[in-house]
């Protein structure tokens, strides 16, 4: 599902909301999550999961095509860990 599909689905389930308002709400949520991660904060949505930032140190990598060594700078990457409730809902049909 892409963001526009999410907006459409929420708008169709809530006919009292305008499509543009649903889009603004979703954008505001995503912007706040992004801003919190940029500050180094952790964002936890109970029952859904937690967003955090992991730091990767600088390293020497290898170009798979040429085999040459390539320096890779340190960087921060977003990380998502699912919540227990979501994992249980996803696995409830697996006969467990």
Task: Tell me which fold the domain 42-96 belongs to.
Answer: HU Protein; Chain A (4.10.520)
Alpha-carbon gap, residue 57 to 46, rounded angstroms: 30
Give the helix, strand, coil percentages of the chain, each rounded to 5. Answer: 40, 30, 30
Residues 6 and 26: beta-carbon distance below 8 Å: yes
Q: Which residues contact 80 (CB under 8 A, 6 or more apart)?
A: 49, 50, 51
Return the domain boundaries, the chain.
Answer: 1-41, 42-96
Task: Write down the residue that tokens 């904060």 correspond to.
Answer: 41
Q: What is the pLDDT of residues 6-58, one digit of tens each?
A: 999 999 999 999 999 999 999 999 999 999 999 999 999 999 999 999 999 99
For the record, the structure tokens of 30 come out as 């995503």
Which of 51, 16, 48 shows the shortest CA–CA distance to 33?
A: 51
Q: What is the pLDDT of residues 64-96, one digit of tens each?
A: 999 999 999 999 999 999 999 999 999 987 655
């Amino acid at each position: 599902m892409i963001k526009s599909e999410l907006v459409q689905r929420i708008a169709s389930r809530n006919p009292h909301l305008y499509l543009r308002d649903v889009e603004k709400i979703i954008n505001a949520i995503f912007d706040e999550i992004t801003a919190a991660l940029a500050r180094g904060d952790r964002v936890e949505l109970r029952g859904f999961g937690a967003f955090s930032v992991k730091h990767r140190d600088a390293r020497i990598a290898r170009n798979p095509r040429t085999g040459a060594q390539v320096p890779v700078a340190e960087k921060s990457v977003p990380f998502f860990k699912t919540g227990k409730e979501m994992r249980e809902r996803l696995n409830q049909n697996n006969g467990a």
